[in-house]
Amino acid sequence: MNPGFTNHFLLPLLRGVLQIAILLLLAPLLPGIVNRVKAWVAGRRGPPLLQLYYDLGRLWNKGIVLSTAASPGHLVGPAIAWVAILGSAMLLPLGPGDALWSFKGDALLFLYLLALARFCTASAALETGSAFEGMGAAREVSFAVLSESALITAILALAVQTGSLSLTGMLAPVPNPSAGLLAAGLFTVLLAENCRVPFDDPNTHLELTMIHEVMVLDHSGPPLAVILHGAALKLLVFALLLAQAVLPLNHLSLLPATGCLLAAMLVITLLVGFAESLLARFAFRRVPLLLTTAFLFCLFALLTAWKGVS
Amino acid sequence: MSPGCLLSLALAAMVAGTCCAPRWTRLWLGCTVAATLLTLGAAISVLAGGPWEWHGAFPIGGELPHLRADGLSAFFLVLLSVIGLAGTVYSSEYWSPKKHPGSAYPGRVWWNLLLLFMGLVLLCSNGLHFLIGWELFTLCAYFLITRERHLPAVRRAGWLYLAASHASALCLFAFFAAIAARTGSWDLGPLRDHLELAPLFWLALIGFGLKAGLFPLHIWLPSAHANAPTHVSALLSGVAIKMGIYGLMRFSGWIPTPADAGWVVATLGVASAVLGVAFALGQHDLKRLLAYHSVENIGIILIGLGFAMMASRAGQPGWGRLAMAGALLHVWNHGLFKALLFLGAGSVLHATGTRRMSELGGLWRAMPWTAASFALGAVAISGLPPLNGFVSEWLVYLGLFGAVDGLGPGSAAAVPAAILLAVTGAMALACFVKVVGVVFLGTPRTLRAEKAVECGWFMRSPMLLLGGACILIGLAPALFWPALQSAIAAWEPGWAMDVAPAPLLSLGIWNVGFALAAALAATLLLRRVRRNGIARAGTWDCGFAAPTARMQYTAGSFAGIITEWFAWILQPSRHADKITHPFPSRAAFREHTPETVLEKVVEPSAGMVMALSSAMRRLQHGRLQFYILYLVFGLIALALLAFWGGAP
């Protein structure tokens, strides 16, 4: 076979398929770890680590109950949202491995793909005409205004720090003092965007104060499986973003970098689990305050980075 | 064929169409469509082949006509002809003589004249003729806005539009007259070496800004766009306000600008973007909401233009070019998706007779074509990939990030601008999830919404055309780079770059791949669901047994969280009945978001002027002896002035 073909086409393709497969397979593990931590702290036996995999398999084979008010968009929405989240994951580098698709300005594409996923889930929720889901969708899109401002500020901070406009370049930070601020800000955004305590409680759907979880009330069967997998993937995406925005992994060689990244993912997941076990959900009116705090963390990270460069 | 040939054919077709308009529907439609297509051809040949110029031999109003189509005017001419084409076809069914016997035929005449004069403004290269064309197209638009003038709201909107337009025209008269006085001729062209003209940019900013509807000069825009017939709203929002943008771009390129102009334009842009979308969230009237989104999108265009002006001053073509390309592409994009959304809103109005979102709901079932096109437009206007809105916003972002990266001039402004642009995007998304959800999804809230029927093909096909254009620009943005280059070269000659930047190509490939993957995933999921079996049942709603359509979340409650954050400027008025007894009687809740700038600033100050004037009127009472007394006083005052004033 032509070596050029192998080097320029076959190998990247293989690597891409492998990377996507790792992302897809690894994602449902994270909620499993969070649940184990919660069970351990509470002294319960808790669900098995691989519970979400069993759930996904079961849901994929089930029939669905569809609201009479819903249009085909109710089913198409979760599919597009899932592709959008997967797309945003493909733009992220994986420690030593570069991103699957990288160009100048892809950080904004990353941000807007997550927004597209939000548009799809929120409008799929409104399909049923249920007041509960309307509330959830309204809160989702409203609080996202704050978390999106925090995210773009974090991206600006990284851009100033590294002088790059692509995620591959941005997520190779040099060790610097703004990393701590950025970590605090991004971790808060991670909790908010992934329906975690103290913003939301993934354990219950039947509360008037839910945000994300209430939007999936009327989904069942394969679409629900896609939504659950997408949610797990989104947690993975945010954890990857947080870890690589803070840790200078690009200075390490292949194996230590992979090890560090995996350890960082584990630490983040454990932190999410502990936050969930030890904190109570915030009163609703305090959610914007906490998100504004996250924005301020990112803003100060940006100012520190700015001061460091100029 | 040369652009001149095509344009004269287009003129002939347009005149023929205008003559046919009062009688023969098909001839009118054919001629007007032909005229728009010929104009499109001429504009494309200018964009591809270079500028075109024509000097007339016979003076009009004492000046020889001088037409010129360069990249910038051709760029706007493309937008005019595409939206004009869509609107013409749409109006033939929407505003048909059968439904509007008295007003359809004159409406067609005004429509054709509006298209004609807007085209002339884009081509005129003589200050006097520019002003004449500007005034004529403003007046044509007035007669189109007031088609339903038996309604008081329409008359009020028309009057406000007329007043604001003439305030704008006044500034422009001063602007062009000052240029003519300085240069000694009404002829326009690149005048960058006349540095003394720079302060005139502020006059142009007010004059063109009023037309473009930037905050806080947008006061006329929401009511005019909401009350005009919908195809007119689409043209006004898609093209007419862009004439203001055209003016700003044209003259920021032709005359020198003051040092702070870029900052001011960008700041106004940011204010328009954020506040425009905040006001849109507070609206309950579908067309009014869309009108406020025009303010938002004008803001995004101005952010791009403002940073391009800063880059031009600082000599930074790298990111300035991207910001300008973003601004220009957003001119097209906003024209396309806003016209699409207005036409969709028009179909809803046509089918249900109401613009109030609280009376709609569940329309997707009766109007699948309209619902799908509207949803496409909603995704596009929210700036989401893989559609066109994302491409232009992304280019603006690249300009902003470039400014930040250089840490040079403008970087301190680019950081807040980028953050607020992201906030705008997220809020626009919230607003359009609300619109799509409340109007098209769920169950019908009233009998009107239940009885709706889909519109005919003359109304459907323009929506499909515009939706197709939105998809095309989203999936193949690099295809349109030469047009952008042509326009940028007309604005700042040194900035042209023949090959599309590599990131734009990558984004295009990504968008195509993403669209394919999304379509594939959706198909697979639908097939899986079908194989597993679908059982239909009522919405579960946490087990509530007897849900009614009135229990659905409304537009007001959906937007409530964000409008509460912006209550300081939205100043919403709310009336709720307090529940006092254990067994409450009927209760009602009303919410209204006023046009704050108009009702809290402009109207009170205008009222003050009126009060002062009527106080002054007491002097004029018709009694002769007092008038003689005034004369005596006046003479004494003059005498004193002459005596002590030290007159020579």
Reference B142, options B172, B168, B174, B173; nearest CA is B168
- Does B648 reside within a domain? no
Residue B122 lies in a domain: no
Contacts with A134 (C-beta within 8 Å, 6 or more apart), sequence order = A125, A126, B437, B552, B553, B557, B558
Contact B429 A101 (CB under 8 A): no
Indicate the average pLDDT of chain B. Answer: 91
Q: How confident is the model at residue B338 (pLDDT cuts 50, 70, 90)?
A: very high
* Chain B residues near residue A109 by CB distance under 8 angstroms: 385, 390, 394, 507, 510
Of the partner residues B434, B522, B532, the one whose CB lies closest to the CB of residue A80: B522
Shortest Cα–Cα distance, A40 to chain B (Å):
31
| Inter-chain CB proximity B441 and A129 less than 8 Å | yes
How buried is residue B633: exposed, middle or buried, by Cβ count under 10 Å (0-12/13-18/19+)? exposed
A100 touches chain B (CB under 8 A): no
- Residue (of A305, A310, A309, A307) closest to A154 by Cα position: A305
Domain count, chain B: 1
Q: Closest Cα of chain A to B429: distance in Å? A: 7
Alpha helices in A91-130 (DSSP H): 106-126
Q: What is the pLDDT of residues B460-482, one digit of tens each?
A: 999 999 999 999 999 999 999 99
pLDDT value at B355 more than 70: yes
pLDDT tens-digit readout, A33-86: 999 999 999 999 989 999 999 999 999 999 999 988 899 999 999 999 999 999
pLDDT at A19: 87
Counting every residue written for chain A, the total comes to 310
> pLDDT band for position B497 (50/70/90)?
confident
Residues 550-569 of B with CB under 8 A from A: 551-553, 557-562, 565
Write out pLDDT tens, residues B178-191.
999 988 889 888 88
What is the residue range of B614's domain? Answer: 596-639
- The answer to whether position B432 is within a domain reads no
- A120 versus B579: which is more confidently predicted? A120
pLDDT band at A3 (very low <50, low <70, confident <90, very high): low
DSSP E strands, B384-478:
none
Residue B195 has pLDDT above 90, yes or no: no
Contact (CB, 8 A) for B345 and B283: no
In chain B, residues with a C-beta closer than 8 Å to the C-beta of A82 are 521
Residue B624 resides in a domain:
yes
Contact B529 A130 (CB under 8 A): no
**What CA–CA distance (Å, rounded) separates B334 from B388?**
9
Of A103, A126, A217, nearest to B540 by CB-CB distance is A217
pLDDT band at B586 (very low <50, low <70, confident <90, very high): confident
The distance of Cα B29 from the centroid of its chain, to the nearest Å, equals 25
Contacts of A152 in chain B (CB under 8 A): 418-419, 422
Q: Is B646 left (phi over 0), alpha (psi -120 to 50) or beta?
A: left
Q: Check residue A209 and give its pLDDT.
A: 61
Instruction: Decide: B128 and B173 in contact? Cβ < 8 Å.
Output: no
Q: What is the pLDDT of residues A186-212, one digit of tens each?
A: 999 999 998 888 888 777 655 566 777
- Mean pLDDT, range B442-461, rounded to an integer: 91
Instruction: Write down the mean pLDDT value for chain A.
Output: 89
| Range of lowest pLDDT (A202-206, B178-182, B396-400, B531-535) | A202-206
List the one residue out of B225, B230, B236, B224 whose CA is nearest residue B95: B230
Mean pLDDT confidence for B481-497: 89
Q: Does A284 touch chain B (CB under 8 A)?
A: no
Place of tokens 């490939």: B509
Which residues, 6+ apart, have CB-to-CB distance to B611 below 8 Å? Answer: none
pLDDT at A7 over 80: no
Residue B392 lies in a domain: no
Determine whether the interchain pair A149/B422 forms a contact, defined as Cβ–Cβ distance below 8 Å: yes
Decide if pLDDT at B63 tops 90.
no
**Chain B: residue whose CA lies nearest to A206:** B542
- Residue B409 pLDDT class (50, 70, 90 cuts): low
pLDDT at B153 over 90: yes
Question: Residue A110: its pLDDT value, please?
Answer: 95
Would B9 be classed as within a structural domain?
no
B426 close contact with A: CB closer than 8 A: yes
In this complex, is the C-beta atom of A22 within 8 Å of any C-beta atom belonging to chain B? Answer: no
Residues B38, B204: contact at Cβ < 8 Å? Answer: no
The residue of chain A nearest to residue B528, with distances taken between CA atoms, is A222
Confidence at residue B647, expressed as pLDDT on a 0 to 100 scale: 56
pLDDT per residue over B24-38, tens digit each? 889 999 999 999 999
pLDDT digits (tens, 9 = 90+) for A151-189: 999 999 999 888 888 888 888 877 778 889 999 999 999
A129 touching chain B per CB within 8 A: yes
Pick from A72, A122, A130: which is nearest to B539 by CB?
Answer: A130
Residue A170: per-residue pLDDT: 87
Q: Which helix (H) or strand (E) holds B318?
A: helix B317-352
The reply to whether residue B425 touches residue A148, judged by beta carbons under 8 angstroms, is yes
- Read off the DSSP letter of residue B284: -
Contacts of A151 in chain B (CB under 8 A): 422
Choose among B361, B383, B442: nearest Cβ to A112. Answer: B383
Instruction: Give the separation between CA A74 and CA A127, rounded to whole angstroms.
Output: 6
CA dist., res. B237 & res. B298, Å (int): 10
Q: How far is CA B539 from CA A210, A211, A220, in A?
A: 18, 19, 12
Report if residue B611 sits inside a domain.
yes
A304-307 LR contacts (CB < 8 Å, sep 24+): A304/A157, A304/A176, A304/A177, A304/A178, A304/A181, A305/A157, A305/A158, A305/A160, A305/A161, A305/A176, A305/A178, A306/A160, A306/B407
pLDDT of residue A205: 59
Q: Which residues 198-227 of B have a C-beta within 8 angstroms of A?
A: none
